[in-house]
Structure 1
Amino acid sequence: MTAISIRSANLDDAQAIADFHVKVWRHTYRDLAPAQAHAVLDEDYRGRTWKEKLASNDGNQLVLIAETDDRIVGIGAAGAPSEPIFGGRGEIKFLYVDPAFKRRGIGRTLLAQLATHLGKLRYQGAALSVVKGNASAIAFYEALNGRLAGEYVDAGPIWRSQNIVMVWDDLTNLIG
């Protein structure tokens, strides 16, 4: 098995991240998101948003890429919370792993590094939202001792998804 490396993303990675994000997002949400969201949230749209995210990084946000053989197989991002329901915990904003590379520890490793970043920002805990019905992600977070802390509707750019909030009150649960 080829080694998987994890590194911080930079602005030059924006379109590759966007292409990966669209591929995995469409697979994950094929039965959950409406057709309009699949049509609008394409590589061009995601490319623009990732360029904005990576260009405007103020040091609070960390975007990571997991790669093997110069191919992205996972992405993750964390930073300041975007929703009051996160209760002041740092937010895991994105975590996507290529379905062909699941169960190899990529998601767990990305989460550990993102949690370490949140600790450096002085957050005591972490939170994330996951779309209701995304059973595999929910099971993954529960296996890592994530706790259900509430629900909200994500306003999103196109799709108003029903989300649940998973939290970790102690970052060492994710880092260790």
Structure 2
Amino acid sequence: MTGIFIRTANIDDAQMIADFHVKVWRHTYQELAPAEAYAVLNEQHRGKMWKQKLSANDSSQVVLIAEIDGRTVGIGAAGRPSESIFGGRGEIKFLYVDPDFKRRGIGRELLAELATHLREMHYQGAALSVVKGNDPAIAFYDALNGRLAGEYIDPGPIWQSQNIVFVWDDVASLIG
């Protein structure tokens, strides 16, 4: 798809990213997340998280925004692995696409840019986790030849979700 512009986020984008994150997260997890998580993980909570993430002086991390005609249609983040199950691969930490813009190549382009960052950070492979039951995302990662590498319980803070881990042993396979 043409017309997708991907840029690196900065601290001034924090609340916009948080608002987008909440919108897409609630759409994605409305049938999967418990009511408490649905209520607590709001724009204010996510705003604090994204401000902290974007103000951290961490060169291993990147946060990207995908836009079409100035409208945010996707976000993604990658960096050092947060869980041992990722096996030392770089982690795709967030990948969200506006439901109104799915199946237009936005997720693939964001993932390719995130993988490029991980390669620049000298990670040979990439990994991510997806909540069990998020069938569209599971199908997406499967179509990109992600290999199932196990499961773990995300520790929260609000929702201890059952997650499936996908890995790519060659990060370059996500780029080209």
TM-score range relative to shorter protein: over 0.9
Q: Say whether residues 1:127 and 2:145 are aligned partners.
A: no
Q: 2:44 corresponds to which residue?
A: 44
Q: CA deviation at 1:70?
A: 2.1
* Contact 1:32-1:133 within 8 A present in 2 as well: yes
What is the CA–CA distance in structure 2 between the aligned matches of 1:54 and 1:72, rounded to whole Å?
17
What is the CA–CA distance in structure 2 between the aligned matches of 1:114 and 1:140, rounded to whole Å?
16
Q: 1:91 corresponds to which residue?
A: 91
Change (3 A) 1:125 1:70: same
Q: In terms of mean alpha carbon deviation, does 72-81 or 55-64 score higher? A: 55-64
Q: 1:67 corresponds to which residue?
A: 67
Q: Say whether residues 1:100 and 2:100 are aligned partners.
A: yes
* Contact 2:151-2:165 within 8 A present in 1 as well: yes
What is the CA–CA distance in structure 2 between the aligned matches of 1:105 and 1:137, rounded to whole Å?
13
Q: Any unmatched runs of 5+ in structure 1?
A: none
Percent identity over paired residues: 76
User: Letter of the aligned partner of 2:47 in structure 1?
Assistant: G
Q: Any unmatched runs of 5+ in structure 2?
A: none
Secondary structure of residue in 2 paired with 1:5: strand
What is the CA–CA distance in structure 1 between the aligned matches of 2:87 and 2:2, rounded to whole Å?
40
* Contact 2:90-2:127 within 8 A present in 1 as well: yes
Q: CA deviation at 1:4?
A: 1.9
Q: CA deviation at 1:2?
A: 7.7
Q: CA deviation at 1:19?
A: 0.1
Q: Say whether residues 1:138 and 2:138 are aligned partners.
A: yes
Q: 2:76 corresponds to which residue?
A: 76
* Contact 2:119-2:172 within 8 A present in 1 as well: no
User: Letter of the aligned partner of 1:52 in structure 2?
Assistant: Q
What is the CA–CA distance in structure 2 between the aligned matches of 1:18 and 1:114, rounded to whole Å?
19
What is the CA–CA distance in structure 1 between the aligned matches of 2:64 and 2:51, rounded to whole Å?
14
Q: 1:54 corresponds to which residue?
A: 54
What is the CA–CA distance in structure 1 between the aligned matches of 2:57 and 2:23, rounded to whole Å?
24
Q: Say whether residues 1:33 and 2:33 are aligned partners.
A: yes
User: Letter of the aligned partner of 1:97 in structure 2?
Assistant: V
Q: CA deviation at 1:157?
A: 1.4
Q: Please give the root-mean-square deviation of Cα atoms over the aligned residues, in Å.
A: 1.0
How many residues are paired up?
A: 176
Q: 1:151 corresponds to which residue?
A: 151
User: Letter of the aligned partner of 2:11 in structure 1?
Assistant: L
Moved beyond 6 Å, runs of 4+: none
TM-score by length of 1: 0.98
* Contact 1:2-1:69 within 8 A present in 2 as well: no
Q: CA deviation at 1:137?
A: 0.2
User: Letter of the aligned partner of 2:10 in structure 1?
Assistant: N
Q: In terms of mean alpha carbon deviation, does 2-11 or 163-172 score higher? A: 2-11
